[in-house]
Amino acid sequence: MNTSAAAPYGVHLLPCDITPFKAGNTGIDYVTTYDSGVAGPHLMINALTHGNEVCGAHALKFLFEHDVRPIRGKLTLSFANVAAYESFDAAYPYASRFVDEDFNRLWNEETLDGERDSVELTRARAFRPAVDVIDHLLDIHSVELPQPTMLMSGITAKGRALADAMGKPKHVIIDPGHAAGKRLRDYAAFDDPAAANQSVLVECGYHFYKEAADIAIETSLRFLRHYDAIDPAFIAEHLGDTPDDEPQLFIDVTGPVTIETDNFVFARTFEAFEVVAEEGTLIGTDDGTERRTPYPDCVMVMPAREAVKGKTAVRLGRIV
Ligand SMILES: [Zn+2]
């Protein structure tokens, strides 16, 4: 175990060697497509949108090493921000999220077609043709603190339907993404209610817990199972026959509580996804100004561990 100020929860899951997958077969480094030769959707499972979210790399390695192939349609396995991943240093494990900028804020046509350049934009432009031919996407992520796993379905009904069909993780966040720039999961047809393309993002818990890799594998198999994309016997063997599903909770994110001063104090510690029953419950005070829950059964989606001016104290959500 490696616990330091740079990683207070330790680094228990390290990057794995993905260089065997560099050449791929698509002309784009670290993008491999298998074609069953049978009609069916083209699925993509993508890892390393963020370079330090290493669980996705472990999941793809698992699929490669087990020779997982589609039995209908096509399956693309891709590693996105490899430059950031290659910069990983266990002493500063958060530093390799990206090199120049967040790869997951670039997925607007204006940005991709624009004049600006960066390590991530260069990669996104090279990667884009692989995404443009995809029907349905699973994008694998993790988070910086120990928190429950969750799916981010976006705001379209088809995104929610995909999360529902996968059955796990339990918590499904319905959110519109980031004002700073579109995520891969919100790119083009994925975000178009009129298009059939579905996408979902999974957060597999804390970046550097070993369980994150297991969750990434399980979620990948659930995604493939939904589309009948691979041998069901392989899925059964690795998912086991644990009964699927405790009911999922779909949470509509209504907005953040933003910390406006240096004197924000939480009223108490809130757990991730804690449901606060009573409307008007005190969340905290911001230099004396009370911030309270705006409606009953308010979900505390991702409470911050410390209050930093300008950051989000907590995102609030309503159970759908
Ligand atoms: Zn991420």
Question: Each residue of 207-223: pLDDT tens digit?
Answer: 999 999 999 999 999 99
Classify residue 300 by burial, with Cβ atoms within 10 Å: 0-12, 13-18, 19+.
Answer: buried
DSSP secondary-structure letter at 247?
A: P
pLDDT, tens digit, 9 for 90 and up, residues 307-317: 999 989 999 99
Distance between Cα 50 and ligand 1 center (Å): 5
Q: Higher model confidence: residue 4 or residue 199?
A: 199
Q: How far is CA 76 from the centre of its chain?
A: 17
| Burial (Cβ within 10 Å: 0-12, 13-18, ≥19) of residue 90 | middle
Q: What is the pTM of this model?
A: 0.94
Q: How confident is the model at residue 7 (pLDDT cuts 50, 70, 90)?
A: confident
Q: What is the pLDDT of residue 245?
A: 64
Q: Give the C-alpha separation, 270 to 249, whole Å.
A: 18
Q: How far is the CA of 179 from the centre of ligand 1 (A)?
A: 16
252-319 in CATH: which number? 2.40.50.630
Judged against a pLDDT cut of 50, whether residue 58 lies above it is answered with yes
Name the 3-class secondary structure at 236: helix
The CA distance from 164 to 151, in Å, is 10
Instruction: Give residue-wise pLDDT tens across range 222-239.
Output: 999 999 999 999 999 999
pLDDT higher than threshold 50 for residue 1? no
Cα–ligand 1 centroid distance for 143 (angstroms): 7
| Ligand 1 geometric centre to CA of 54 (Å) | 10
* Centroid of ligand 1 to alpha carbon of 201 (angstroms): 9
Q: How far apart are CA 135 and CA 43, in angstroms?
A: 6
pLDDT score for 302: 86
Placement of tokens 């970046």 in the chain: 207
Q: What's the pLDDT tens digit per position in 140-151?
A: 999 988 999 999
Q: The sheet that has 298-300: what strands, in order across it?
A: 31-35, 74-79, 42-47, 136-143, 198-206, 150-152, 171-174, 249-258, 312-319, 298-300, 274-276
Average pLDDT over residues 196-210: 97
* pLDDT of 99 higher than 60: yes
Query: Distance from the CA of 102 to the center of ligand 1, in angstroms?
Result: 9
Residue spans of the domains in the chain: they are 19-239, 252-319
Distance (angstroms) between ligand 1 centre and the Cα of 112 equals 19
Gap from CA of 188 to ligand 1 centroid (Å): 19
The 10s digit of each residue's pLDDT in 270-293 is 999 999 999 999 999 999 999 999
> Across residues 171-183, what is the average pLDDT?
87
* CB neighbour list of residue 31: distance below 8 Å, 6 or more residues apart: 24, 76, 77, 78, 79, 127, 130
Counting residues of the chain whose pLDDT is more than 90, the rounded percentage is 90
DSSP H/E element including 33: strand 31-35
What is the enclosing helix (H) or strand (E) of 276? strand 274-276
Can 19-239 and 252-319 be said to share one CATH topology? no
How much distance in Å is there from the Cα of 287 to the middle of ligand 1? Answer: 32
Taking the centre of ligand 1 as the mean of its atom positions, its distance from the CA of residue 207, in whole angstroms, is 9
Residue 178 — very low, low, confident or very high, per pLDDT cuts 50/70/90? confident
Q: For the ranges 75-89, 113-127, 173-187, which has the lowest average pLDDT?
A: 173-187
Give the pLDDT of residue 279. 98
CA distance 111 to 173: 26
52 Cα–ligand 1 center, Å: 8
CATH architecture of the region 19-239: 3-Layer(aba) Sandwich (3.40)
